[in-house]
Amino acid sequence: MNRLVAAVIASILGMAWVGCSYASPAAPLPDPVVDTPLAGVSGMQTAVLAGGCFWGMEGVFEHVKGVTRVVSGYAGGNAETATYDQVSTGRTGHAESVHIFYDPARISYGQLLKVFFSVAHDPTELNRQGPDTGTQYRSAIFYANADQKRVADGYIAQLQAAGVFRRPVVTQVVPLKGFYDAEAYHQNYLDRHPNQPYIVINDLPKIAALRQQFPAWYVDR
């Protein structure tokens, strides 16, 4: 079922899906051993991550220090199929993703990945997140350069070796071939619909977890 349609039905019926899907590690995640150092001067870099519904992913990273902008969109497929209706079929190769713009002098790529694996989603769920199923909801890191690939591969290997999750990490690490902005009605969706049942059940707990687990990195918007 189209998530927007399901959300409307849930609102009308006063129902919602059960449970928020974000990582539940057996122990706090370690800092990445392999990372890029903080830059000496402010600037702008980007990261593209996929971890289920982009509403929640966008909402989480908008509250991370050093992040200046987050855009919901699609990555993994081609431009011709980058529309919500087409991506929702699960046959386009796209994943719902977020394009994160951040200041590398304030937060590193590895630190963004720590948030990604800790509270933004559950990296052990294959082709699904919580109530949403299909390859469009897969966990993926779309790297733009060799440094991002090195940090992503290194951190996943580190997490696997440490056994911090009860199941294996299934996050893909794949090259970024293109990012396509989602439709305007998807942008800042969480902020504009904070009382929608889907948001309350599945996404607001992620932001609360960010604030609790990473108080030094959490910022109000």
pLDDT, one tens digit for every residue, the chain (221 residues): 455 545 544 443 343 334 566 656 667 899 999 999 999 999 999 999 999 999 999 999 999 999 999 999 999 999 999 999 999 999 999 999 999 999 999 999 999 999 999 999 999 999 999 999 999 999 999 999 999 999 999 999 999 999 999 999 999 999 999 999 999 999 999 999 999 999 999 999 999 999 999 999 999 98
Place of tokens 């977890």: 209
Clarify whether 53 is annotated catalytic.
yes
Asked whether 199 and 55 are in contact (CB, 8 A), the reply is: yes
CA dist., res. 201 & res. 177, Å (int): 33
3-213 belongs to CATH 3.30.1060.10: yes
Task: Give, as one character, the DSSP assignment of residue 85.
Answer: H
Max alpha carbon distance in the chain (Å)? 53
Q: Exactly one of 53, 82, 98, 207 is catalytic; which is it?
A: 53
User: Does residue 131 sit in helix, strand or coil?
Assistant: coil
Rounded (10°) angle between helices 204-213 and 54-61: 30
Supply the pTM of this predicted model.
Answer: 0.91
Cα Rg of the chain (Å, integer): 16
- For residue 221, the model assigns a pLDDT of 82
- For residue 17, the model assigns a pLDDT of 37
Strand-pair category, 45-51 with 139-143: antiparallel
CA dist., res. 42 & res. 192, Å (int): 30
Place of tokens 């902020």: 191
